[in-house]
Amino acid sequence: MSVYSDIVMAIIIGSDEHKDFVSSIAKNIEGSKVFFYKKTQFKGYSSGGIWIGEHKISFPEELIKEMQKDDDVILVIRGKYKYWNSDSMFMEACQLVDTLKSSGPNMKGVKAGRLCLVLPKEGYVKQDKIFKDDKGEKVFGESLSIATHRKVLKKLGTDIIISLYPHDFRMPEDSEDWIKTDYQNWKEFAWAVNPVKLIPDYFRKNNIAIDIVVAPDKSAYDFSKYIADSIGADCLCIDSHRSREDCGIVTSKNALHRNLSGKFVLIPDDWILAGGKTKNAIKFVRPKGHEDKWPKEIHIAVIHGEMNGNAYDELMERDIKLYCTNSVENPAGVIDVTGILADRIKKLFLDG
């Protein structure tokens, strides 16, 4: 049985920049109809070398004609690699949710009933707890970004958020995949989708042999061990440290004591932003001065490939093979998550 009362027909809306992704979700939900909104820059100027632009977002007239009062709407907001911007995506979500739920200007009185906001990669999720300073003390007066983000979207009328493997997702004790945190009870509002099994599935399907899985830090060990066990590989863990002064600088505390010569190595992680942790892991398995221990191939598999700036190009220069899910639009997005996102929507709303 579904968690929420059933829907007869779902209206699925997404940006015209991501038509294939949004359409793929819709194809997995029988009886759904899909529409695309447009973003148009109508003002822009340069300030201090930074381009500042204002955007308007508009729904197609066909949507207004199709929607009836209190229709269920599934709104998909997806970002792009290299230009990932949580602030911009947050404002985009706020404008869209508010317009749909309050019958915004020129909506002709039509508004959404229940609104499910699908964020394949949710912004601000790195800060799911209050950080500590160099003395180990919690920073006084620090905001909790992810909680603020969700509270605002809920206040604007979002009924449900579905996101793919957010930072505050922990391997669930139950089968419902609530997002569980110490700071907020999000039960029945924020839901997680776990795509980790898609990584070993992809490697098996494409006959990509892996001998050793290397966790880039201790926090990624359980994640990496699951993948290693799934493909029958050994698992190592790097004891790495991220600089508090510059979070892009990551170093290893331990050294490689295993000969990886001729081995096929996989380094998995939840996401790549600037790529510091991934680059450090590559250096770890290719220690300078010990070329005789270097593996034959290095494969990198990540869930969210944000890869801001030149991160993607810099990784490609290191002679590695990169695989990402398509949660973020990127050139390595070969692992498709639209099916499991659709499954979560159906599990929430549809029988069976």
Q: Is the pLDDT of residue 6 over 60?
A: no
Residue 5 domain-assigned? no
By three-state DSSP, how is residue 347 classified? helix
Residue 1 domain-assigned? no
Residue 146 domain-assigned? yes
Same domain, 138 and 97: yes
Residue 57: how many other CB atoms lie within 10 Å: 14
- pLDDT confidence of residue 249: 58
Mean pLDDT throughout 87-100? Answer: 92
Q: How confident is the model at residue 208 (pLDDT cuts 50, 70, 90)?
A: very high
Domain that holds residue 302: 198-335
Mean pLDDT throughout 47-59? Answer: 68
Residue 4 domain-assigned? no
Residue 6 domain-assigned? no
Distance CA 265, CA 255 (A): 16
Q: Is the pLDDT of residue 352 over 90?
A: no
- pLDDT confidence of residue 321: 98
Q: To the nearest whole number, what is the mean pLDDT of the chain?
A: 85
pLDDT tens-digit profile of 223-247? 899 999 999 999 999 887 665 554 5
Tokens 């998995």 belong to which residue? 268
pLDDT tens-digit profile of 262-307? 999 999 999 898 898 999 999 999 999 999 999 999 999 999 999 9
Its pTM stands at: 0.88
Q: How confident is the model at residue 95 (pLDDT cuts 50, 70, 90)?
A: very high
The number of domains in the chain is 2
Contact 92, 54 (CB under 8 A): no
CATH number of the domain that residue 124 is part of = 3.40.50.2020
Same domain, 69 and 179: yes
Same domain, 44 and 177: yes
